[in-house]
Chain A
Amino acid sequence: MNVVSAMPAPAADVRLLSGNHACALAATAAGCRFFAGYPITPSSEIAERLSLELPKVDGVFVQMEDEIAAMAAVIGASMGGLKSMTATSGPGFSLKQENLGYAAGAEIPCVIVNVMRGGPSTGMPTRPSQADIMQARWGSHGDYPLIALAPASVREIYDETIRAFDLAELYRTPVVLLYDQVIAQLSETVALGAAHPRGRVERKWASGPAADYKPYAADGDAIPAMPLPGAGYRTHTTGLTHAEDGFPTQNPEAVTRNLSRLFSKLDGRRDAIDSWETIHCEDAEIVIVAIGISARAAMRAIEECRAKGVRAGLFRPVTLWPFPQAALREAAAKAKAVLVPEMNTGQLRLEVERVLAGAPVKGLNLFSGEAIAPAQIAASITALAKEVR
């Protein structure tokens, strides 16, 4: 579905909203009642807005001493039963990685927003990048699954923030919401009246006899039930590898069983997790794969190229991790070449090359702190079309 063109015509409920504010409003709409964070450009408006919104719904807003503590507080609040979130950018996302791994390993639902700014290190605080694509997936040590969502408009930030909470709660997993500084601080006219109907999911809570409860024992759905504090269930949570009873173990069978279940939890639900948008891929000789503001530029470039007789199309992963590989293979089945414009040196291209092994894949990489312009993409499409014709 074309999310941007699907925006309804201006109506009474149309308002001007920035991406970060849309994220904050969506969080409370999704039932988020705890935010801990440490302000960092260009994500600070999320915290700022939530400091105003959360008290209105009896939620808790805490400005912590740093990003590490903020991530830890989010995990604690989630274990306490609240839908919880943090938001950060660049160096802050790096600092959160160890605890993010804890949330993945201990299966604590939470949402982590990372607004991508120029890096490495302190980098360019006020400039956009898309260079955390791989960090979002592989940033913490060890082997763990994770979901990352990559919205491309203010409206989509709203929808995907709600979906991030739904996925986190349903599957007991951290969900990263990943978008660039341009989309974060862009204000767009949006109609929230017709916004995402979801956001009312409840995680699977422990029920039944307390004596039989094992915190990491899962039935057929691979999702262990969480104990609501005070409900009478004995539990143990640790960053150490654990068996079904929650206590540390290095027993090879138990370790293998637990990690396999952790992966199968998401692998078995790709139909519900994967999401993407395709535009004009049916007859496209050149398929573009892009996210965020680069995808918005690609939409314009495609129209310009089609007007000149070059059949271009767009495949836009909305769920970035796990990567919607089956959908990309289908969308690019007839393409002669694939172009990956991104604000980094070629991270998304690596994944596209893996998925479309053997197909010609070119990158268009800009890492100057500027967004890629439609004209740059159009020029690359035209050149690539000449090469492969």
Chain B
Amino acid sequence: MQGARTEIRIGGTGGQGLILCAKMLAAALAADGRRVAQSQTYEPTSRGGFCKADLVVSSGEVDFPLATAVDHLVLLDQLAVKPSWPLLKEGALVIADERLCPKLPPGDDSRHHLPISRTALELGSERVANMVALGALVALSGICARGRIEEAVRKATPRGFLHLNLDALAAGFSIAAEPIPAAAS
């Protein structure tokens, strides 16, 4: 039988590294002994277009491996809101980039508008916005231990980018810890 099921979506545009960070999270959860199904939708272009990476996490088997009711939603582009919002569970955790995804529909979700891409830029590269988002997601959802995700990032990162990725992940944990009032939408 299907165990308790948690669904996570990371949505944005092609080229933001959403699938990569979903694969890192999937690896961390698999290392935790959880059953994971990780899927994605992307456009046939290397940059741009709606892109999403979903995870279905379960203590038991995963029967249907695609997202149907999302518990944790990360939004790194306004483009991802429309196709993702109808799947949101009541009271879901929503983490949105305040610059790239400023407008959220009304809802009873627990929303966190965070300076994800700005933090990445301050670290020297907008390319690590995915790592900042990953840190914030793990911090706010508690989906796995910090050590687990750090281990997964280490394993999947080329050496030349390891410090930058780990710094970005840590920055994600930091901005998640700062008390930021829910943005009025």
Contact = CB atoms under 8 A, between A and B. Distances in A.
Contacts, number: 73
A51 interface: no
Contacts of B40: 185
Chain A contact residues: over half helix, strand or loop, or mixed?
mixed
Contacts of A7: 61
Contacts of B30: 14-16, 189
Contact of A296 (B27, B36, B42, B63): B63
A185 B39 contact: yes
Given A41-B44, A125-B44, A187-B26, A16 B38 contact: yes
Nearest to B62: A188
Interface string A98-111: 00000000000000
A228 B63 CA distance: 45
A332 B72 CA distance: 40
A121 interface: no
A350 B67 CA distance: 30
A126 B37 CA distance: 18
A182 B23 contact: no
Contacts of B27: 16
Nearest to A302: B63
A16 B43 contact: no
Contacts of A374: 64, 68
Interface string A108-136: 00000000000000001111000000000
B74 to A, nearest CB: 18
Interface in A281-307: 293, 296-297, 299-300, 303
Contact of A4 (B43, B44, B61, B66): B61
Given A4-B61, A296-B65, A187 B44 contact: no
B118 interface: no
A254 interface: no
Most interface-central of A124, A127, A188, A189 (chain B CB within 10 A): A189
Contacts of B33: 10, 14
A299 B63 contact: yes
Nearest to B87: A373
Contacts of A16: 23, 26-27, 30, 36, 38
Contacts of A153: 65
Most interface-central of A125, A153, A187, A297 (chain B CB within 10 A): A187
Interface in B127-181: none
B99 interface: no
Contacts of A201: none
A186 B37 contact: yes
A127 B50 CA distance: 13
A153 B33 CA distance: 19
Contacts of A373: 66, 68
Interface of A: 4-5, 7, 10, 14-16, 41, 124-127, 153, 182, 185-189, 293, 296-297, 299-300, 303, 371, 373-375
24 contacts: A5-B1, A5-B61, A5-B63, A14-B30, A14-B33, A16-B26, A16-B38, A41-B44, A126-B41, A126-B42, A127-B41, A153-B65, A186-B37, A187-B36, A188-B36, A188-B37, A188-B65, A296-B64, A297-B64, A299-B64, A300-B64, A300-B68, A303-B2, A374-B64
Given A41-B44, A127-B41, A299-B63, 11 more contacts: A10-B35, A16-B23, A186-B37, A186-B38, A186-B65, A188-B65, A189-B35, A296-B64, A296-B65, A297-B64, A371-B66
